[in-house]
Amino acid sequence: MSSRRQFLQSSALALAASALDWRALLAQPVRPGQPDPLTLVRGTVGTFTGRGGTIGWHIDAKSVVVVDSQYAATALTCLDAVNARTQSRAIDYLVNTHHHGDHTGGNGVFRPAARKILAQRNVPVLQRAAAERAAKAPQPGVTTPPPEQVYADTLFDKTWREPVGNEVMSLTYYGPAHTGGDAVITFERANVVHMGDLVFNRRQPVLDRPGGSSIAGWVRVLEGVLRDHPTDTIYIFGHAGTNFPATGSRADLEVQRNYLTALLDFTRGEVKAGKPRDVVVKFAEPLPGFPDHGPLTERVLGAAYDELTSGT
């Protein structure tokens, strides 16, 4: 008998014996003797790290949720790990925190297993527009066709809330920030929040102006999240810098907020000093006060300059 089959049979027996054993099941490796790609954070919520934005998940005896899908190859690894714990039960929701390819590129892998793909209303529109831009301007040396786009089929505007098994999942759109469609996903009973790319933990953020980004809006969004969640909330981040984790506390959100505020203040000072854009974007040093984030990039400074000088 294969080790996978043995695992599934033992899992079924454990669940039949006691519903309380489900949490112990979450802590077991996918296959005996192999590293576990799923990391439990708290309650029934955890993370998967591969290539792309951090995937979140909720698994209990009654429901399965996956947040973000990375790219196809790592999506398949994640799906295999989830299936091993759930005896291949259907995924109730695949949630996309926003439209970027490192968060939606694996949608096609999860699509056959997911009853619904859930996202903020702007996400499919932004995803289509990004795919069209990429098709018109292919990267030099890239000969492989872009991945087939799979879009969310269940959309919300400002808020969404529903029980998922023994959990309650709520989604909130606070306004333009990293993009024009970032959702904050809260697992209320576990008190765990998936931030998507609203937090780049101690690394340079991506500011997608064609996709609706607003640095000033991003600051307001983070302040709203901090206001709406208790002090002991655990947060999952889309990305993290070297030697920094993809999960953390409100202190990490405060660092992200303070960094973005300082970025605007620094760039505003450069603009007031009369420096042209091509000079401002060449400041290749860390933002003063934030050495962990590494040197500023032209893309980050250019986005800040354009936001301040265009009034949007």
pLDDT band per the 50, 70, 90 thresholds, residue 30: very low
Q: How confident is the model over 98-119, as a mean pLDDT?
A: 97
Q: What is the pTM of this model?
A: 0.88
Mean pLDDT of 193-215: 97
Q: Give how far Cα 96 sits from Cα of 67, 109, 118, 157, 295, Å.
A: 6, 14, 6, 14, 30
What pLDDT score does 312 carry?
66
Q: State the pLDDT at residue 308.
A: 97
Burial 106-116 (b: 16+ CB within 10 A, else e): bbebbeebbee
CA distances from 158 to 120, 172, 181 (A): 8, 6, 10
Cα–Cα nearest to 86, from 61, 110, 56: 61
Is residue 27 very low, low, confident or very high in pLDDT (cuts 50, 70, 90)?
very low
Q: Are the beta carbons of 42 and 234 closer than 8 angstroms?
A: yes
What is the C-alpha to C-alpha distance for residues 94 and 79, in angstroms, rounded to an integer? 11
- Separation between Cα atoms, residue 95 and residue 243, nearest integer Å: 27
Indicate the helix (H) or strand (E) that contains 58: strand 55-59
Burial of 248 (0-12, 13-18, 19+ CB in 10 A): buried
Domain ranges of the chain: 37-310
The predicted structure's pLDDT at residue 143: 57
In this structure, the strands spanning 167-172 and 159-164 are antiparallel
DSSP letter string, 244-256: --SEE-HHHHHHH
Tokens of 208: 């997608």
CA dihedral 224, 225, 231, 236 (to 10 degrees): -160
3-state SS class at 38: strand
pLDDT over threshold 90, residue 155: yes
Is pLDDT above 80 for 139? no
Burial of 36 (C-beta count, 10 Å sphere; 0-12/13-18/19+)? middle
Number of Cβ within a 10 Å radius of residue 290: 16
Distance CA 177, CA 257 (A): 11
Q: Is the pLDDT of residue 223 over 90?
A: yes
Bridging pattern class, strands 45-48 and 55-59: antiparallel
Q: Give residue-wise pLDDT tens across range 71-81.
A: 999 999 999 99
Predicted confidence (pLDDT) per residue in 47-101, tens digit: 999 999 999 999 999 999 999 999 999 999 999 999 999 999 999 999 999 999 9
pLDDT computed for residue 41 by the predictor: 98
Q: How confident is the model at residue 148 (pLDDT cuts 50, 70, 90)?
A: confident
DSSP string, 112-153: GGEEEEEEETTHHHHHHHHHHHHHHSPPTT--SPPPPP---S
The whole-angstrom separation of Cα 48 and Cα 128 is 26
Question: What fold does the segment set 37-310 form as a domain?
Answer: Metallo-beta-lactamase; Chain A (3.60.15)
Q: Is the pLDDT of residue 268 over 60?
A: yes
Q: Is the pLDDT of residue 34 over 70?
A: no
For range 141-157, the mean pLDDT? 82
Residue 144 pLDDT level (bands cut at 50, 70, 90): low
pLDDT at res. 281: 97
CA–CA gap between residue 89 and residue 263 (Å, rounded): 45
Q: Is the pLDDT of residue 253 over 90?
A: yes
User: How many angstroms separate the CA atoms of 263 and 254, rounded?
Assistant: 14
